[in-house]
C-alpha cells in the first residue's frame, strides 16, 4: 500500500506534478494566467515565456498585480524573462511602482522591528503571524513576501497592554473607523494605523481566528511549537512551518472563502513545502485533527493546478472530501474564476456561498452550521427595500437569474476531454480511503 511518505518522495519538489496540465488555468485570461504562474517556482519559466510571446494587455496585468500586491515580484519576473515586448512607458511606470513597493516593504519591516522592540522591552512576548512570520522565516528577504499590513500575536492576558503600548510608539487607533464594539470575540483588537500618515496597519492578535470558529487550533500548542526568530536587538516567535501552512490554508480557503488572496497563498504553499523534507504526513494528521482537511485540500489543489506548485498526489488523496472528481473539477473551475475580479466570476453571492460549501463540505469537516461570513466584526443587517421599488427589484432578479444560468453553463460546459487528467490513483482510489477515515 502506498503511504504518504512514499507518495511524497515520488514527486520531487522542483518537478511539475505528474498528471497536472493547465485546463483550469486556461479558463483565465492570459494576464491572470501570467500573474498566477509567477506565484510558482522556476519551473514555470517556460509557460511564462509562452505567454510573454503572445499579446498581453499590459495595463490589465499591472492592475491585477497591484490588486494582489504582486507588483514587485511580477516586475522581477519580467526583468528575468525580458521586457522587449513591453512599451517603454509601461516599463518605466512598472519600474517606478516596483521601487515604491520595495520602499514600502522596507518601511513595514522597520515598523515591525520597532513594534516588537517596544513590546519585548516591556516583557511582552510577541509571535509574528501571516506575512510577517513568513517573511522572517521562509523567504529570502522581507520584500520577497508582499503584504498589506502587519500581524502580531501576544498572550491574551497582555493584549490590551500591548495595544496601549503601541499607541505610545507611533501607532494610533481610528475609533470611528474601527469601533471597539465591533470586535468582541474577534481574533485581534481594533487595528492600529501608523501616525506618520503612511497608511501602514498593525493588528494585535490574541488568537488565529475569531471566537466560535469551527477549527481545533489550541493557542498553547502554537506557542509551544513556535520557532524563535531574531529581529535586530530582540527576538520574537513564529509558528512552525506546518502551522504556517495550516493557518495560511484556513485563511485563504475559509476566512477569504477561496475568493481572494490566492496569489500570495499559492506562493506561500510553494515556499513552505519546497525541499525534500517538508513533513507531509504529520501535516495531514495536523489538518485532520484541526478540522481543516478541506481548507488544506483546496489551498493545495489550487496552488498545484493554477501556479504549478508541486504537491504529492497522496497528500491530496488524504485530504480530499468525498466528492466525485467530475464535480470537484467543476468546483475547481468556479474557484479559479473567483480569484480575480477581471475574470467574470459568479454573479450571485448566494450561489457563490453554496458552491463554496459544496466544495468545503463544512458538515463533513465537523463545522456544523458555522460559516465564515458570520464573523465580519462590522457587518450590518441589509436594509429592506421599499415596496415601491418592486418593479426594479423584479427586473434585477430576472437579470441576476439570467447571469447565474450563463455562469453555471460556462463552468459546466467544459469538455471532459479538455480536463487535465488526475493521476489514476487519486481519481479512483479516493473513495476507499475516504470511507476508512
pLDDT tens across 387-403, in order?
557 677 777 777 778 87
Locate cell 499559492: which residue?
A: 266
Residue 76 is placed in which grid cell?
522581477
Give the gyration radius of the chain's Cα atoms: 22
Taking the C-alpha atoms of residue 91 and residue 94, their distance in angstroms, rounded to an integer, is: 5
pLDDT for res 256: 95
Calpha distance 189→308 (Å, rounded): 37
Q: What is the pLDDT of residue 183?
A: 86
CB atoms under 10 Å from CB of 329, counted, come to 22
Q: How many angstroms separate the CA atoms of 401 and 137, rounded?
A: 47
Q: How confident is the model at residue 182 (pLDDT cuts 50, 70, 90)?
A: confident
Closest listed residue to residue 426, CA positions, set 318, 279, 289, 310: 318
Torsion over CA: 336, 338, 339, 343 (sign): positive
Kindly tell me if the per-residue pLDDT of 385 is higher than 70: no
Is pLDDT larger for residue 351 or for residue 383? 351
The three cell numbers locating residue 99: 521601487
Find all residues with CB under 8 Å of 301, minimum gap 6, and list them: 311, 316, 332
Give the model's pLDDT for residue 379.
Answer: 58
**pLDDT at 427 exceeding the cut of 60:** no
CA–CA distance, 262 with 69 (Å, rounded to integer): 11
H runs (alpha helix) in 280-366: 280-289, 293-307, 313-319, 325-338, 349-360
Tracing cell 515604491 back to the chain, one arrives at 100
pLDDT for 20? 41
Q: For the chain, which residues make up each domain, given as ranges? A: 4-367+392-435
List 193's β-bridge partners, or say none.
Answer: 172, 201
Amino acid at each position: 500500500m502506498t503511504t504518504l511518505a512514499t507518495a511524497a518522495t515520488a514527486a520531487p519538489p522542483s518537478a511539475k506534478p505528474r498528471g497536472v496540465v493547465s485546463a483550469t488555468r486556461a479558463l483565465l485570461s492570459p494576464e491572470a494566467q501570467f500573474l498566477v504562474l509567477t506565484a510558482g517556482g522556476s519551473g514555470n519559466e517556460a509557460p511564462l515565456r509562452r505567454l510573454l510571446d503572445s499579446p498581453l494587455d499590459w495595463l490589465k496585468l499591472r492592475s491585477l498585480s497591484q490588486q494582489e500586491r504582486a507588483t514587485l515580484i511580477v516586475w522581477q519576473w519580467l526583468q528575468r524573462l525580458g521586457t522587449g515586448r513591453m512599451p517603454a512607458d509601461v516599463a518605466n511606470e512598472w519600474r517606478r511602482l516596483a521601487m515604491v513597493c520595495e520602499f514600502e516593504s522596507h518601511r513595514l519591516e522597520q515598523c515591525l522591528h520597532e513594534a516588537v522592540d517596544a513590546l519585548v522591552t516591556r516583557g511582552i512576548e510577541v509571535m509574528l503571524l501571516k506575512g510577517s512570520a513568513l517573511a522572517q522565516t521562509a523567504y529570502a528577504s522581507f520584500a520577497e513576501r508582499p503584504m498589506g499590513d502587519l500581524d502580531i500575536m501576544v498572550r491574551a492576558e497582555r493584549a490590551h497592554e500591548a495595544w496601549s503600548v503601541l499607541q505610545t510608539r507611533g501607532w494610533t487607533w481610528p475609533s470611528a473607523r474601527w469601533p471597539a464594539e465591533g470586535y468582541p470575540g474577534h481574533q485581534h483588537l481594533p487595528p492600529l494605523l501608523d501616525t506618520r500618515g503612511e497608511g501602514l496597519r498593525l493588528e494585535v492578535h490574541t488568537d488565529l481566528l475569531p471566537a466560535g470558529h469551527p477549527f481545533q487550533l489550541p493557542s498553547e500548542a502554537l506557542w509551544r511549537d513556535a520557532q524563535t526568530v531574531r529581529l535586530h536587538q530582540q527576538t520574537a516567535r513564529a509558528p512552525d512551518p506546518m502551522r504556517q501552512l495550516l493557518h495560511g490554508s484556513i485563511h485563504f480557503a475559509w476566512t477569504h472563502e477561496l475568493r481572494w488572496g490566492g496569489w500570495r497563498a499559492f506562493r506561500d504553499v510553494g515556499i513552505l513545502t519546497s525541499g525534500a523534507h517538508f513533513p507531509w504526513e504529520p501535516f495531514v494528521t495536523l489538518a485532520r485533527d484541526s478540522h481543516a482537511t478541506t481548507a488544506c485540500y483546496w489551498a493545495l489543489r489550487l496552488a498545484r493546478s493554477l501556479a504549478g506548485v508541486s504537491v504529492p498526489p497522496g497528500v491530496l488523496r488524504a485530504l480530499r472530501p468525498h466528492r466525485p472528481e467530475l464535480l470537484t473539477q467543476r468546483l475547481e473551475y468556479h474557484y479559479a474564476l473567483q480569484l480575480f475580479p477581471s475574470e467574470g466570476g459568479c454573479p450571485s453571492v448566494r450561489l457563490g456561498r453554496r458552491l463554496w460549501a459544496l466544495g468545503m463540505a463544512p458538515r463533513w469537516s465537523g463545522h456544523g452550521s458555522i460559516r465564515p461570513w458570520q464573523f465580519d466584526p462590522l457587518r450590518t443587517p441589509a436594509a429592506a427595500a421599499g415596496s415601491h421599488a418592486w418593479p426594479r427589484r423584479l427586473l434585477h432578479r430576472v437579470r441576476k437569474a439570467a447571469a447565474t444560468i450563463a455562469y453555471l453553463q460556462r463552468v459546466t460546459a467544459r469538455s471532459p476531454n479538455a480536463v487535465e487528467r488526475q493521476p489514476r490513483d487519486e481519481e479512483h482510489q479516493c473513495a476507499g480511503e475516504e470511507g476508512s477515515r
